[in-house]
Structure 1
């Protein structure tokens, strides 16, 4: 796991971190523009925290955004969040079912680690489509 250096200025949508998952480099983009104020060294040491506990111990960095109101206009928020998430889950499920029928959902909960269970070509496609990589 690599995360942008502390005190570095990042733009909204600019790469702020990189993880290697199943052999693929997955870039994480900054949701806001500003200065990186803190880096979670626990995630650098144990990247699995980012998926095991993303809302508590798995955060990557703190970015101080001087123009947060402007940045928020480019983010999915409020009542748009749930439909956006449902649409992306449906897209992912359809893509996996078409490309790898063995990974089709059977009505249960999605499982983690899908990038380690697909072909390199599909992994690259998933990273491009869902991580804007």
Structure 2
């Protein structure tokens, strides 16, 4: 389910803050990760660390930590139990969390002590949709299809000049990286379509917020 641009898979359970998800596995363990709300709050994640495996942690205890250029905070266990492992993929490549939050970007696997009791305080969709929408608004979260590597804020600049700057930036950035462009030029939706057709660089997400237009561009060539 998508709520205000933020993705929340229907098959997961969510903690009471809407920051962490839980996926019960057939093995009896529970996979744990962060939601699109928490990812947006943290920003581009530079480092993930985990607590010691093989130790039992109470529900709500920190089992890991996130670090970005603007944020440092805990990943709290949505269920109590023994921490089985921290996902080695996110330890080596934190970007995995941002590229695939709900699958490859899981953070921890916990063997719950009392899942039946703990899951009573976890939230499920669609009932949780209203609460999650309120959290998005309260935290002023903005979710996009991907996390940008570069930001361009071009307010009061004509779109033609903005696109010149965008082209100059794309020459410098590595393939696969993403630019978040913000402009207030009302012609930008049409101009960005034309620019994308001409350059072959895809606009992977766009939205309007009041007088501002947001575009995510991925460098592919």
TM-score, normalised via structure 1 length: 0.66
* 1:69 Cα offset (Å): 0.8
**Greater Cα radius of gyration, structure 1 or 2:** 2
CA shift at 1:21, angstroms?
1.5
Distance 1:56 1:76 in 2: 19
Structure 2 match to 1:63: 110
Return the structure number with greater strand share: 2
Structure with more relative contact order (C-alpha pairs < 8 Å, separation 6 or more): 1
Matches within 5 A, 1:1-133: 1-93=48-140, 106=209
User: 1: CA distance between counterparts of 2:70 and 2:136?
Assistant: 23
- After the TM superposition, which of the residue ranges 21-30 and 52-61 deviates more from structure 2? 21-30
Shift of 1:92: 2.4
Query: Does the residue aligned with 2:106 lie in a helix, a strand or coil?
Result: coil
Large movers: runs of 4+ above 3 Å = none
Say what the alpha-carbon RMSD is for the aligned residues: 2.7
How far has the Cα of 1:86 moved from its partner?
0.8
Q: How many residues align?
A: 103
Bigger helix fraction: 1
Query: What residue ranges of structure 2 are gaps of 5+ in the alignment?
Result: 1-47, 142-154, 156-181, 183-207, 217-221
